[in-house]
Structure 1
Amino acid sequence: MAAPSYDYSFDASLAAFNISKAAFLAAHPHIARIMAAAMVFRPSSPPRTLLLCRAATDTYPLKWEVPGGSVDAADATILDGVARELFEESGLTATRLAAPILMSPEEPLPEPVRAGLGIQPQHETLGHEGLTVTFVESRNLWAKLTALVTVRADDEVRLTPEEHGEAAWVSEDEVRRAVLPPKEEGEGERKLDFVSDGVRRSILDGFRVYAESVAKESNQA
């Protein structure tokens, strides 16, 4: 899948990430790696966001996440990293990066949700550095920018099989209940297992950010 030229706009709230990976890490020497992720929504009722299931042969097999990965040295900016990861993992082309997404407040986890996590909460040290979520990986501090992204209307989701085996559009209620919509009409709900609680909480915060973005656009109309 050949990468497109990136032709997106971005909100002023993301201007701090319109710099290279090298510049970001030089300004934050205690951070070892910067990640980039995208949340894309369908304006349905209720709104649904795109989640991807990691391949059975990958780390954290069959766990769910949003499109994302490491910012590369070849990415001109961290924002380009968001657009590239989104395209590589889903085939969707970013047209606007609208807002940063952090994490919803910590809350008690129902046991079925906890049991399905790829990383247990006691092994995940979560925090934030400005507008990034931080976590410890391999004894190093990593930072992750997740952005609310608008994509081209005619794009269709296309997966890279060695990375992800399934895509689903999931509502906030389904995320909170950790269930997936049925694959076919007449089938029941399925269990939704997340890579980590940090991933789950970022997805929930994404619904808040999306609702605020829709309200803002409505007020400006």
Structure 2
Amino acid sequence: MSDPTHSLDYPSSLQEYVVPGQDFLRHHPEYDILCTGIIVFNAEGKLLLVQRAANEMAFPNFWEIPGGKVDDTDESILHAAARELKEEAGLEATRVLRKVTQFTFTDGRPGHPTKTWLKLIFEMEVRDSDNVVLDPVEHQKFLFASEEEIVNDLVGDVKLAYISPPNKGVKLEAFRLQREAL
């Protein structure tokens, strides 16, 4: 299927994510907030990772995939993912290949109610994966990692540290699905 507004192709199996985030949340009241993560493989089959800026208040210097919160102004969840990819890595998504996985987490600060977040992870094709341009406010470095490097938490001399164990699991699941698709 194709959205003529944004030229973002996606398989019909992802139709439930071609709705505004607020509509999705109305049908899934167990979640309070939606966010996305985007898997991008380069031509060599390596996965894009971005390192959070050293001055980020939350999880400085940790490695992650691009992604972020679904905004009320996003046309759909898939468009939110494409927007976040453009904002964080400067990459233009052309096609959503598949949903890789999802996971939930909670945040709760003293004096504030606990919120349940749903993070939806999608694999996307992009126009030029070699043309990564980071938003320096959010990220300070990027690299492409092989599955073995993810397993070993080491790319060359760069030690990979993730926000949580599910974050590493997402990356390994993406490699597994990529192998199955071949």
**TM-superposed deviation, 1:202:** 0.5
Other-structure match for 2:26: 26
Other-structure match for 1:179: 154
1:200 to 2:162 alignment: no
Question: Which of 209, 214, 218 lines up with 2:177 in the alignment?
Answer: 209
**TM-superposed deviation, 1:140:** 1.9
SS for the counterpart of 1:16 is helix
Q: Kindly report which structure 2 residues correspond to 1:9-158, keeping only aligned pairs within 5 A, or say none.
A: 9-44=9-44, 47-58=45-56, 59-102=58-101, 132-138=102-108, 139-153=114-128, 156-158=131-133
Q: Which has the larger radius of gyration?
A: 1
Q: Is the 8 A contact 1:25 1:32 kept in 2?
A: yes
Question: Which of 139, 151, 163 lines up with 1:164 in the alignment?
Answer: 139
Q: 1:144-200 CA deviation, whole Å, 9 max, x = no partner? A: 11101000037610001110000000011011100123xxxxxxx221111111111
Alpha-carbon distance in structure 2 between the residues aligned to 1:65 and 1:176:
14
SS for the counterpart of 2:161 is coil
Q: Is the 8 A contact 2:42 2:129 kept in 1?
A: no
Alpha-carbon distance in structure 1 between the residues aligned to 2:134 and 2:153:
22
Name the Cα RMSD after superposition. 1.4
Alpha-carbon distance in structure 1 between the residues aligned to 2:55 and 2:93:
28
**TM-superposed deviation, 1:6:** 2.6
Alpha-carbon distance in structure 1 between the residues aligned to 2:11 and 2:107:
30
Q: Is the 8 A contact 1:92 1:155 kept in 2?
A: no
Which protein has the bigger strand share?
2
**TM-superposed deviation, 1:212:** 2.3
SS for the counterpart of 1:160 is coil
- Structure 1 gap segments, 5+ residues each: 103-131, 182-188, 216-221
Given the two structures, how large is their TM-score scaled by the length of structure 1? Answer: 0.75
Equivalent pairs counted in the alignment come to 172
Identity %: 34
Q: 1:89-135 CA deviation, whole Å, 9 max, x = no partner? A: 00000010010112xxxxxxxxxxxxxxxxxxxxxxxxxxxxx3212
Q: Is the 8 A contact 1:91 1:155 kept in 2?
A: no
Alpha-carbon distance in structure 2 between the residues aligned to 1:211 and 1:88:
28
